[in-house]
Amino acid sequence: MPKKQTGVSKFFSFIAWLTGVIVSLSVGFGMIGGTLKLPVWLGGTIVASIAGWIVILTTALGAILAVLNSK
């Protein structure tokens, strides 16, 4: 049986989850905006932009599913 989480462990789990969401969104928007780039031999700006949108969409979907699953 899994252990029940205490208030403190729930808080730290939430902080870790929120940090992951913020970092993922930052990386995604950085790739779309051109701040984070890929070398030309990996596809350059176009591939970075597409990958950025994929990161943003999957992060948003994951966050929505996590909120819906927590109830």
Q: Which residues contact 45 (CB under 8 A, 6 or more apart)?
A: 34, 37, 38
Whether 52 maps to a domain, the answer reads yes
Q: Give the tokens for residue 12.
A: 């730290």
Tell me the whole-structure pTM to 2 decimals: 0.80
pLDDT the model gives residue 2: 65
Establish if 39 belongs to a structural domain: yes
Task: Transcribe 9-42 into DSSP letters.
Answer: HHHHHHHHHHHHHHHHHHHHHHHHHTSS---GGG
Residue 5 confidence (pLDDT): 73
Would you say residue 13 lies in a domain?
Answer: no
Domain range for 40 is: 27-71
Does residue 57 lie within any of the structural domains? yes
Residue 31 clears pLDDT 80, i.e. is over it: yes
Query: Would you say residue 33 lies in a domain?
Result: yes
Q: How many domains does the chain have?
A: 1
In a domain, 53, yes or no: yes
Does 18 score more than 60 pLDDT?
yes
Q: Binning pLDDT at 50, 70 and 90, where does residue 1 land? A: low
